[in-house]
Amino acid sequence: MTLSSHVETHKPSATTSRFTSDDEILAAVSRVRETFDSGITRPLDWRERELRQLQRMVEDNEEEFLEALHKDLGKCRMEGVIAETGFIVNEIKLTLKNLRKWAKPERVKVPVAVMPGKAYIVREPLGPVLIISPWNYPFQLLISPLTGAIAAGNTAVLKPSEVAPATSAAVAKLLPRYLDASAYVVVEGGVAETTTLLAQRFEHIFYTGNGAVARVVMTAAARHLTPVTLELGGKSPCIVDEHADLDITAKRIMWGKFFNTGQTCVAPDYLLVHESIHDALLDKFERTLQHFYGADPQASADYGRIVNERHFDRLLPLLDSGTLVAGGKSERASRYIAPTILRDVSPDSPVMEDEIFGPILPVLRVSNVDEAIRFVNARAKPLALYVFTNDKDTAERVLSRTSSGGACVNDVVAHLGVPELPFGGVGPSGMGAYHGWHSFDTFSHKKSVLDKSIHLDAPLRYPPYGDNKLKWIKRLL
């Protein structure tokens, strides 16, 4: 398996196929390692200063970042602030507020057999890390893990997505103006640059993207026994039972599904709706979409576009996987696909094979919640799972009998807005987690320390042993 089979490229010009040469990449990796080895990233004062500079970068240049996001994805200002710039500023503020508490050594109990002494856990930086981000939230998913890496005292090489070239260029231009350029380096490029980066030794690799490339990343990491965090995706199901509040359900699902034009790793990928409320819910979906985006979503300033023509062409055939309830219109020139809802969808149809990652929502009928649970459990573990119901027992049954990276009851996507919750997948939807303290923890090594007193040295531990010592040892253990 090769990286080039799965990664899209964006060539910078007609005369060159690369943004960054191998020599430049090797020099950058060497530089961030030398900086880490110098020890300057370890003091908390230094980390806090870099975090404040990162916050300044976002706040000073928010308009430029929002413009880049609109150019790459047609992302409206509100979505850009909610999910990109505002999200990052809030995460940096949370990290600055809590960093010294997070970094304190954690005392643990010492058993009698090891006394006198004290034991504690020290969280120390890993070293140079590599962060590879995707195109759908190209700013948030690059800078959020960087926040954790800085907080934990690491240096980093950042590889933004070449599929979102405007955002990549903005970060590459602005980040060196605010952060220590010897500690944090942006490498732009596509397959060639990523392949060269993955051949280098890092102390951690943080990758957000799809499962195919994740296998390439893990294979490369294995050569150096480098630990990885993989934030992937999958078909996140949404179960709606007969006790759901249909008005709230319709608004929240339509918002979460078509936010960022459906190009969200935790968007509800398909619906399993109780047959008794199936038709009524679809009617409310139609009315909700018209309220959100008007009669013509293509003219709405709040509705984005598919990131590029390749993904447009990938999504277009999926429109034929069921009966149209709403949407279905498209225009390749502007990469527009209307917010689309499909009914009468077969579990074996093309739209149900892989993660959709676009503005198409298939709706399937179920006769009860147990049928929905069986349907979910027959498939790969998703990154997120959603259940809409006013019955607490039903919600608990779904949560306890399914496995997913995260979950919401009576909402979608919003669990990402709780920084105390770890965000990550399970099984094929990913490994490891981050956000808030969990980012700090991900980029830290937990070093165990025993500090033993020299003022008392029990003879029990030393030979010759004998039966009497063994008897006492058994009592102490």
Please say if 231 is a catalytic residue: yes
Specify the pLDDT at position 113. 81
- Distance between CA atoms of 147 and 33, rounded to whole angstroms? 18
- Distance between CA atoms of 185 and 220, rounded to whole angstroms? 20
Contact call for residues 311 and 278 (beta carbons, < 8 A): no
CA distances from 237 to 245, 248, 318, 319, 437 (A): 18, 18, 17, 19, 28
Pairing of strands 444-452, 117-125: antiparallel
- Distance between CA atoms of 203 and 249, rounded to whole angstroms? 44
Write the CATH number of the domain with boundaries 3-232+430-447: 3.40.605.10
CA distances from 128 to 154, 209, 219, 342, 443 (A): 6, 21, 19, 47, 10
Q: Can you name the residues that pair with 231 across neighbouring β-strands?
A: 208, 430
DSSP letter for each residue of 375-410: HHHTSPPPSEEEEE-S-HHHHHHHHHH---SEEEES
Amino acid found at 52: R
CATH 3.40.309.10 fits 237-421, yes or no: yes
The ranges assigned to domains in the chain are 3-232+430-447, 237-421
Please say if 265 is a catalytic residue: yes
Among 231, 238, 355, 408, the active-site one is 231
Q: Name 258's Cβ contacts closer than 8 Å, sequence gap at least 6.
A: 289, 292, 293, 303, 339, 359
CA atoms within a 13 Å half-sphere pointing along the CA-CB vector of 70:
13
The helix/strand/coil state of 470 is helix
Contact call for residues 194 and 217 (beta carbons, < 8 A): no
CA distances from 84 to 73, 143, 184 (A): 13, 9, 20
Among 162, 265, 355, 408, the active-site one is 265
Check if 3-232+430-447 and 237-421 are the same fold. Answer: no
- What pTM was estimated for this model as a whole? 0.94
C-alpha closest to that of 68 among 146, 140, 141, 139 = 139
C-alpha closest to that of 207 among 269, 281, 272, 129 = 129
Amino acid found at 363: V
Specify the pLDDT at position 335. 97
The helix/strand/coil state of 246 is helix
Specify the pLDDT at position 1. 47
Structure token pair of residue 98 = 């809590």
Tell me if the bond preceding 145 is cis, omega within 30° of 0. Answer: no
- Distance between CA atoms of 339 and 327, rounded to whole angstroms? 5
CA distances from 272 to 144, 247, 421, 436, 442 (A): 32, 17, 26, 32, 34
- Distance between CA atoms of 24 and 193, rounded to whole angstroms? 10
Say what the alpha-carbon torsion angle 385, 388, 392, 393 is, to the nearest 10 degrees.
Answer: -70
Most distant CA pair in the chain, distance? 89
The helix/strand/coil state of 225 is coil
C-alpha closest to that of 383 among 336, 345, 417, 432 = 432
Specify the pLDDT at position 13. 41
- Spell out the per-residue pLDDT of the chain, length 477, in tens: 456 444 454 444 433 467 889 999 999 999 999 999 999 999 999 999 999 999 999 999 999 999 999 999 999 999 999 999 999 999 999 999 999 999 999 999 998 888 899 999 999 999 999 999 999 999 999 999 999 999 999 999 999 999 999 999 999 999 999 999 999 999 999 999 999 999 999 999 999 999 999 999 999 999 999 999 999 999 999 999 999 999 999 999 999 999 999 999 999 999 999 999 999 999 999 999 999 999 999 999 999 999 999 999 999 999 999 999 999 999 999 999 999 999 999 999 999 999 999 999 999 999 999 999 999 999 999 999 999 999 999 999 999 999 999 999 999 999 999 999 999 999 999 999 999 999 999 999 999 999 999 888 888 888 999 888 888 888 877
- Distance between CA atoms of 195 and 289, rounded to whole angstroms? 42
Contact call for residues 47 and 150 (beta carbons, < 8 A): yes
Contact call for residues 312 and 319 (beta carbons, < 8 A): no
Specify the pLDDT at position 10. 44
- Distance between CA atoms of 79 and 263, rounded to whole angstroms? 12
Residue with tokens 């490891």: 432
